[in-house]
Structure 1
């Protein structure tokens, strides 16, 4: 017999869903470029070039021409990702060892989430500066990338740590284990799926934070400064090419962390397939 409605059919494979989503987005992009955003009469500036024009521009320029400045931004995003998530995980673990500080940590996380990054970036560029030398990562971009990922990882880690099985925690306590032992033996394993999910979400957020930091200046070669230059030149096709490549880089990072999550927590993937 078939199960209830909606559960009898096969689920669409992940790769097929991703491919279908990409096709829908490109089709919507093409429709808007043709119907809603046409160049003004007498001008050559096209605010939304077609996907084919953007793809052709990337092929004509070559990926190496874009990687020259993307490498700096990716470096900044990785450093910010490491610092922001590292501090978030450290504070979340400290909360379990010293529960009284949980309200303080949560309040700090919420404040960082509510801060307008543009305003913070303006202060950061004055306080900590940008790139120390040409081609080097910007300190402000790294700081904003770290700030962007902090809240998500703190909340995800705290929820994951608290999801630990109570009976397992009691067993550790009965055998004389401390809170640190509970953290290592039980809570960390229970929190891994939530932590990895938070890290996966943090990948595109870190890239966005780095690009916003580059808009503050103090960098000579990066995605942010390249976008400013291209916008000033009214080169909309290359602007959209950079937009598209930003999305591709973020998706690659997102997929890599997702793959790592499946490898590190196979029990979660197995449960998802049998549900």
Structure 2
């Protein structure tokens, strides 16, 4: 019996993108037509959005995205660093695992609007015009915390028991087990969690900008464009936001494959 022929990842992504654009085009031409007596189109066609991007150029958008990308990167670094530190601490002190997991679950379930409202009061926004927002950085860090804690803990616990016993027999401590066995076993899971955290961090930064306290960024730009009923540019920002998130996701995925070739190159019989 012949084995099934797998579809290349790039081809599946291309087919999905074409299907989404086609559905977008159909809905913009049918369901989301301008209301009678107005020229405002809530969902412009892909061609209109593409023409807007070409006519504007990427330079005006880059000045907007530069701030949000900075916020997302800083929040990504802080949130993942704290998550990995807590996950490693659980392996050294197993009794605190319920506390760490409760913190992770609570951070995941907190309503973003409420947390953002408190954060903008406590942390504030940007110190100077054009600076990143402290609230956006905080929400970006919060958005990645749960995923990385859970992924790291599952990875650490997947370590081979025989290897852990060997380290223990030779007098190795829990820290030695963590450093020589658990960290290697957890690397694929940690990298997968970091890959998933990339778009989450960017989304958290955008939501943080919606809280205010900043004069430049994706969130505040969307608010301004929506107030001006400039739907082509709103959708242009949407597309660029998706592109930035996908690029970050792909870069971390590539680094993951390079860092764990034994996983990327593994084949099944």
Which category describes the TM-score, using the shorter chain as reference length?
over 0.9
Displacement of 1:274 in angstroms is: 4.0
Aligned to 2:236: 241
Identify which range, 130-139 or 8-17, moves more after superposition. 8-17
2:126 to 131, 143, 146: 131
**2:185 maps to 1:152:** no
2:44 to 39, 43, 49: 49
Displacement of 1:9 in angstroms is: 2.6
**2:136 maps to 1:141:** yes
Q: Counterparts of 1:211 and 1:138 in 2: how far apart (Å)? A: 10
Aligned to 1:5: none
Aligned to 1:221: 216
SS in 1 for 2:265: helix
1:34 to 15, 29, 32: 29
Aligned to 1:269: 264
**2:103 maps to 1:108:** yes
Output aligned runs, 1:1-275, within 5 Å: 1-2=1-2, 8-271=3-266, 273-274=267-268
SS in 2 for 1:176: coil
Q: Counterparts of 1:205 and 1:86 in 2: how far apart (Å)? A: 15
Q: Counterparts of 1:133 and 1:215 in 2: how far apart (Å)? A: 17
Q: Counterparts of 1:124 and 1:24 in 2: how far apart (Å)? A: 39
Q: Counterparts of 1:158 and 1:207 in 2: how far apart (Å)? A: 24
TM-score for both structures, normalised by structure 1: 0.96
Q: How many residues align?
A: 269
Q: Counterparts of 1:20 and 1:86 in 2: how far apart (Å)? A: 36
Displacement of 1:84 in angstroms is: 0.3
Point out 4+ residue stretches in structure 1 off by more than 3 angstroms. Answer: none
Identify which range, 58-67 or 13-22, moves more after superposition. 13-22
Q: Counterparts of 2:154 and 2:86 in 1: how far apart (Å)? A: 13
Q: Which runs of 5+ in 1 are unaligned?
A: 3-7
